[in-house]
Structure 1
Amino acid sequence: MANVKWSIDPTHSEVQFKVKHLMITTVTGYFKKFNLEVETETDDFSTASSIVFTADVDSIDTNNEQRDTHLKSADFFDSSTHGEVRFVGKRYEKTGQDSAKLHGDLTIRGTTKPVTVDVEFGGIVVDPYGQTKAGFTVSGKISRKDFGLTWNAVTEAGSVVVSDDIRLLAEIQLVKQA
């Protein structure tokens, strides 16, 4: 039996990150351009043989052009040299009826590290147009310093401007390919 191929439905998906600013508020950013391709043996995602996610660094949007430009600079993502964030899933491990851990390798700015994210499986439905869709909420946390994003500044009072912890959150809808 041929593998089942799934592709991202970008109009019903979003990828965001959250970081503490001055340790008192949270700034949210989005990747406006991203892709996800998954291959499974069946409609059970624990049979996935390939999970590849990419995000275009130049598509970062934090609702502040000056901050976005800084994030794309060599201080952070260095998009002119490292234009893509990439996650390659290695194992989709069911932890409950609708929950799983997704283990894989995350590459940011040329550095690859193992990462595990939590996955909440929303289910599989057929939409009004006859397309089979699968939904997921993905969440996790990484240390930006692990990936060479070490820029920081300190306030007069000694507070850190940008936290090391980056929270990841994605709403993903996949479309089964015919």
Structure 2
Amino acid sequence: MANVRWVADPMHSEVQFKVKHLMITTVTGYFKSFEVEAVTPDDTFKSAESIVFTAEVDSISTNNEQRDTHLKSGDFFDAEQHQQVRFEATNYEQVSDEEYKLHGNLSIRGVSKPVTLNVEFGGIVVDPYGQTKAGFTVDGKISRKEFGLTWNAVTEAGSVVVSDEIKLHAEIQLVKQAS
């Protein structure tokens, strides 16, 4: 069997990040525009030849226009100079029937670092339109400072405004492409 190519179904996928604000609440953000492409040796997702994720920084949304503008600025993502966040897998390893570790390089703001993400494989089904789809839940954590996202402020009481740890969460539905 030849390699199988899969791409994200944007209507049934989402990519989020969560960060502590003032260390007392969590703010959730999304990338509204992103792509995922995977190539597997067969239909099973027991292994992958390649997995590439890209997100458009300009599509960032936290449901607050002022905050989104700040995130796109040079204080954070610097969207003008660095239009995309990119993850390229280096290894996709099975841990159990439904759990995998996805190792790869994450590039944000021109800085590339190795990260490991936890992947829960939801399975493969054929939808009512005859399309073969595979579902995944992806979770991980990164240090934003490691990627040059170092802006912060301190409250009067000495608390940090934005935490260093960023939680990543994605629900990804891939569609098998015709060969």
Q: The residue matched to 2:77 in structure 1 has which SS?
A: coil
Letter of the structure 2 residue corresponding to residue 136 of structure 1: F
Match of residue 146 from structure 1: 146
Matched, 1:123 2:123: yes
Alpha carbons 2:47, 2:93 under 8 Å: kept:
no
CA RMSD between the two structures: 0.6
Q: Please identify runs of 4+ aligned residues in structure 1 that moved more than 3 A.
A: none
Match of residue 104 from structure 1: 104
Where structure 1 has 5 or more consecutive residues not aligned to the other structure, the ranges are: none
- Taking the aligned partners of 2:45 and 2:124, their CA distance within structure 1 comes to 11
Alpha carbons 2:5, 2:37 under 8 Å: kept:
yes
- Taking the aligned partners of 1:79 and 1:34, their CA distance within structure 2 comes to 14
Match of residue 41 from structure 2: 41
- Taking the aligned partners of 1:124 and 1:32, their CA distance within structure 2 comes to 24
Alpha carbons 1:6, 1:176 under 8 Å: kept:
yes
TM superposition shift of 1:47:
2.4
Where structure 2 has 5 or more consecutive residues not aligned to the other structure, the ranges are: none
TM superposition shift of 1:169:
0.2
Alpha carbons 1:46, 1:91 under 8 Å: kept:
no
TM superposition shift of 1:44:
2.6
Task: State the TM-score, normalizing by the size of structure 2.
Answer: 0.98
Q: Indicate the larger mover: 37-46 or 11-20.
A: 37-46
- Taking the aligned partners of 1:134 and 1:167, their CA distance within structure 2 comes to 23
Letter of the structure 2 residue corresponding to residue 97 of structure 1: D
Match of residue 73 from structure 2: 73
Match of residue 173 from structure 1: 173
- Taking the aligned partners of 1:91 and 1:112, their CA distance within structure 2 comes to 16
- Taking the aligned partners of 2:44 and 2:145, their CA distance within structure 1 comes to 35
Query: What per-residue deviation string (whole Å, max 9, x for no partner) do you get for residues 62-110 of structure 1?
Result: 0000000000000000000001000001111111110000000000000
Q: The residue matched to 1:136 in structure 2 has which SS?
A: strand
TM superposition shift of 1:50:
1.1
Q: The residue matched to 1:42 in structure 2 has which SS?
A: coil
- Taking the aligned partners of 2:150 and 2:47, their CA distance within structure 1 comes to 37
Match of residue 159 from structure 2: 159
Alpha carbons 2:40, 2:48 under 8 Å: kept:
yes
Letter of the structure 1 residue corresponding to residue 118 of structure 2: D
Letter of the structure 1 residue corresponding to residue 119 of structure 2: V
Alpha carbons 1:45, 1:92 under 8 Å: kept:
no
Query: What per-residue deviation string (whole Å, max 9, x for no partner) do you get for residues 104-135 of structure 1?
Result: 00000000000000000000000001100000
Q: The residue matched to 1:45 in structure 2 has which SS?
A: coil
Alpha carbons 2:56, 2:84 under 8 Å: kept:
yes
Alpha carbons 2:154, 2:161 under 8 Å: kept:
yes
Alpha carbons 1:17, 1:169 under 8 Å: kept:
yes
Alpha carbons 2:31, 2:59 under 8 Å: kept:
yes
How many residues align? The count is 178
Letter of the structure 1 residue corresponding to residue 81 of structure 2: T
